[in-house]
Amino acid sequence: MRNLLPVLTIVTAILVIWYAAAVALNAQWVRDQATRAGHELSLPALVEATWSQDKPKLPAPHQVAVEIWQTTGAMVLAGRGFSKRSLFYHSWITFSSTALGFLLGTALGVALAIGIVYNRTMDMSVMPWVIASQTIPILAIAPMIIVVLNAVGISGLLPKAMISMYLSFFPVVVGMVKGLRSPATMQLDQMRTWNASPAQTFWKLRLPSSMPYLFTSLKIGMAASVVGAIVGELPTGAVAGLGARLLAGSYYGQTIQIWSALIMAATLAAVLVGLIGLVQRMTLRRMGMA
Amino acid sequence: MGWLIFGLLAWAFGWWINHRLSDRPATRATRLAVPTIFGITIILIWEALVRGLEISPVLLPPPTQIAVTFAAKSDILWQDFVQTVIKGALTGYVLGCGTAFLTAVAIDRFPFLKRGLLPVGNFVAALPIIGMAPILVMWFGFDWQSKAAVVVVMVFFPMLVNTVQGLQEAGAMQRDLMRTYAAGYGQTLLKLRLPAAMPFIFNGLKIASTLALIGAIVAEFFGSPIKGMGFRISTSVGQLALDLVWAEIVVAAVAGSAFYGAVALLEKRVTFWHPSQQGRS
Amino acid sequence: MSSNTVISAQDLSLTFQTGDGPVHALKDVSLDVGKGDFVSFIGPSGCGKTTFLRCMADLEHPTGGSITVNGVSAEEARRNRAYGYVFQAAGLYPWRTIGGNIRLPLEIMGYDKAEQARRVSEVLELVDLAGFEKKFPWQLSGGMQQRASIARALAFDADILLMDEPFGALDEIVRDHLNEQLLQLWDRTDKTICFVTHSIPEAVYLSTRIVVMSPRPGRITDVIESPLPKERPLDIRETPEFLEIAHRVRDGLRAGHGDEV
């Protein structure tokens, strides 16, 4: 709460800069129009015009807000909340591949981490490649993956989810390996004095100790999954999803549409990451760690 | 069939060597050898599977074919590398990290700004910033300037947040010590707070290095001149020339690893004193 | 206040405002420290001994009373670099060598390079660390690190040395050794030393005056002048005079603590 006032100030400052930038960026076009029509523009009229163009270089915040309302709330009120023009529909498409990819990535990440912690050969041979795998800019080859998977008959949700999975498994592996190794030597020795089996050590010591690390990684993984899903939608021919809206908007110069898709994607990411934060707080509190 | 058996043998042999090696005490050599053998094994299995199962090269070309293409098309690959990595990614990286660093040092003097910017910066750092790419391509044109702009926007917030956090890292006692010397703001910044912030600054630089390459390549999907790695990948996929796509991927992976490795090496030099850098090597 | 008074506190008070109401860290503390004195401050935790030291160093701001150091305000004294301060932990910068750490205050205070080098080797000699100049702090033991931090405080040759439990985290053997060295150093340099501790033998062994403090509110309950000679071998701690003073200190602590002990 202490930070509320400073944060609000920053947000206000961003909005002010945004409006000012909209005037600066869009003024040229307005002036050209005026010269063509052969009349002088007063300053208020210029500002007014820069904030209400159809295809501005930078739409003003209220234009984006109106567009978002028209494609979400207004459509729900009209009873068409899930039509193909609704941003809810596109968000849902993006969300479903994000969620599937995130779940697959988390499962793969946890499995690999357990293997790495318990098997020395895996630790030494796989871990460097897990790190190296992230130097391949997967987002860059997303179109190829989609096309190739399409060619072998896999289409729809799964190819996009694969990209999210690839992006989200890495933070989970790294975080979980760190977490599973976080118990102190003393605690592990104590388990040995009780002659605990490896499974008992895992369930009673290693796994609980890794929880704070897991949740931190899950947040990063979720943010990466959203990016993966959006980029995965680019080469699907701009059919559905927030990424498709971005691409379509850029084809037709519909800047307002791009910005509203962008804001929607940001909201989706924020909500999903926030949800994990909520689960994290609840879990850690029940475990007495928060 | 012969290829499949070969693949199976390669897998068994690679695993066996690694198993033997990892049981031995870890030296510099084994730590290098084990992942290398793992990588070679993967490539051998890949080659064997593609040939043995007669997978169409349109789906997945064998490594040998990729290598041949790599050698044959090296001039194109070089041209794309310069366009995307040097002009796009590197320019944007330097500009973005530089401005973020200076901004962090500037706002550090104003606690009010800092308390406002940190949550906002953390929030923005988790957003799909890459979505800004089409907008920036519209603003800055198709050439590398717009790619550099995308990179600037992508690296700015992670770098800002890390630097601001790092500048708070110096302990209360060490700051008291500077006070007992009656050291000025500039002296404290230069002698205590910047060195103490280095591990965080390098963390930001490393995150930014992976983001930079991704940003530069993906931005090319939204429009580019007829060169660049992103352009080549998307057009080659259209022409089903997957061997060229894979060659570009190799370039990207090597460039990405080299970039990250260079930053990590510099980090090791600068923050040799930090506990996370000790006990290794 | 005589002419050779170095630190003088008059009715010094410091109250922290906390969620549970005000905490009186110091209340009406008055004390004069003369030139060349070795004054120990002893008392249970919360008695304000560290707070008092931090007031002298202008690291805390008193809410009442006055304090002068070298005849000027604590802040002015700090700006004049009137004292060296040794913290409980060595607090050496890990990215600087031992020599680099000792050079740090000299760089800040604008000494030239030759002078820096001269002083660094001089104080390293003084704390018995010659030859370790190029080492990094994390390559040294805890006792050596603490000696380096004392060297750092000595480097700019301030007349006053303020030490806040400098040996608190060290083991007994190292501590004895450093105590002995500190006394020799004090003898050679003729500095005024204020020393916070919670070890009775340490206080008695080192000091010319022992200030006994007690908590809630933080105040001075007794000031004991030590009759021990300036020359003090370690086994002086077995003598009846020593035990006599130690006994008085213990009594003072008990009295200040009321019925709690």
Distance to chain A for B116, nearest Cα, Å: 4
Is C91's CB within 8 Å of B173's CB? Answer: yes
Chain C contact set for B171 (CB, 8 A) = 91
Q: Is the pLDDT of residue B280 over 50?
A: no
pTM above 0.90, yes or no: no
Of A120, A128, A246, the CB nearest to B35: A128
Chain B contact set for C138 (CB, 8 A) = 273, 278
- Where among C129, C157, C185 does a domain terminate? C157
Range from B12-26, B254-268, C216-230 carrying the lowest mean pLDDT? B12-26
Mean pLDDT of all residues belonging to chain C: 86
Alpha-carbon distance A94 to B128, whole Å?
Answer: 12
Of B18, B127, B214, the CB nearest to A137: B214
Q: Identify whether residues C78 and C194 lie together within a single domain.
A: yes
Chain A contact set for B123 (CB, 8 A) = 270
Is A227's CB within 8 Å of B128's CB? Answer: yes
Of B23, B135, B252, the CB nearest to A258: B135
Mean pLDDT of all residues belonging to chain A: 80
Is B115's CB within 8 Å of A259's CB? Answer: no
Of B35, B223, B249, the CB nearest to A124: B35
Q: Identify whether residues C129 and C196 lie together within a single domain.
A: no
Q: Identify whether residues C164 and C146 lie together within a single domain.
A: no
Alpha-carbon distance B187 to B275, whole Å?
Answer: 25
Chain B contact set for A57 (CB, 8 A) = 138-139
Q: Is C220 helix (H, G, I), strand (E, B) or coil?
A: strand
For B13-56, what is each residue's pLDDT tens digit? Answer: 877 777 777 777 767 777 777 777 777 888 888 888 888 887 77
The A residues from 183 to 242 touching B (CB cutoff 8 Å) are: 219, 223, 226-227, 230-231, 234-235, 242
Rounded average pLDDT over A43-57: 76
Q: Which residues pair with C197 in a beta bridge?
A: C42
Q: What residue spans define the domains of chain B?
A: 2-55, 70-277
What are A178's two structure tokens? 């760190």
pLDDT above 90 coverage of chain B, percent:
5
Range from A26-35, A235-244, C167-176 carrying the lowest mean pLDDT? A235-244
Q: Identify whether residues C143 and C176 lie together within a single domain.
A: no
Which residues constitute the domain of residue C30?
Answer: 5-82+159-260
Select the more confidently predicted residue: A40 or C135.
Answer: C135
Q: Is the pLDDT of residue C259 over 50?
A: no
Rounded average pLDDT over A249-272: 84
Of B130, B139, B234, the CB nearest to A227: B130
Q: Which superfamily, per CATH, for B70-277? A: MetI-like (1.10.3720.10)
What are A134's two structure tokens? 């992230």
Q: Is the pLDDT of residue B95 over 90?
A: yes
Q: Identify whether residues C116 and C228 lie together within a single domain.
A: no
Is A148's CB within 8 Å of B242's CB? Answer: yes
Rounded average pLDDT over A47-75: 78
Contacts of A169 (CB under 8 A, 6+ apart): A104, A105, A106, A108, A109, A112, A221
Chain C contact set for B200 (CB, 8 A) = none
Among C58, C59, C92, C136, the strongest candidate for a mutation testing the B interface, having the largest count of B CBs within 10 A, is: C59
Question: For B188, which residue in chain C has the nearest alpha carbon?
Answer: C108
CATH number at residue C34: 3.40.50.300
Angular region, C43: left φ>0, alpha ψ -120 to 50, beta rest: left
Chain B contact set for A124 (CB, 8 A) = 18, 21-22, 26, 30-31, 34-35
Alpha-carbon distance B224 to B217, whole Å?
Answer: 10
Radius of gyration of chain A measured on its C-alpha atoms: 25
- Where among C138, C157, C176 does a domain terminate? C157
Q: What is chain A written as a DSSP string?
A: -TTHHHHHHHHHHHHHHHHHHHHHHHHHHHHHHHHHHT----HHHHHHHHTS-SS-SS--HHHHHHHHHHHTHHHHHTT-TTSTT-HHHHHHHHHHHHHHHHHHHHHHHHHHHHHHHH-HHHHHHHHHHHHHHTTS-HHHHHHHHHHHHHHTT--THHHHHHHHHHHHHHHHHHHHHHHHT-S-HHHHHHHHHTT--HHHHIIIIIHHHHHHHHHHHHHHHHHHHHHHHHHHHGGGTS-SSHHHHHHHHHHHT-HHHHHHHHHHHHHHHHHHHHHHHHHHHHHHHHTT--
Task: Pick one of 1.10.3720.10, 3.40.50.300, 3.40.50.720, 3.40.50.280 as the CATH number of A87-286.
Answer: 1.10.3720.10
Give residue C88's pLDDT: 85
Q: Identify whether residues C12 and C60 lie together within a single domain.
A: yes
Any contact of C with A, at least 3 CB pairs below 8 A?
Answer: no
Nearest in space to A105 (alpha carbons), one of A204, A182, A174, A202: A174
A191, A201 Cβ separation under 8 angstroms: yes
Give residue B281's pLDDT: 35
Question: Count of domains in chain C?
Answer: 2
Q: Identify whether residues C77 and C177 lie together within a single domain.
A: yes
* Residue B152 buriedness (CB in 10 A; 0-12 / 13-18 / 19+): buried
Other chains touching C, judged by 3 or more CB pairs under 8 Å: B
Q: Identify whether residues C125 and C137 lie together within a single domain.
A: yes
Question: For A12, which residue in chain B has the nearest alpha carbon?
Answer: B116
- Where among C132, C157, C182 does a domain terminate? C157
Band of the pLDDT at B168, cuts 50, 70, 90? confident
Of B37, B115, B134, the CB nearest to A6: B115
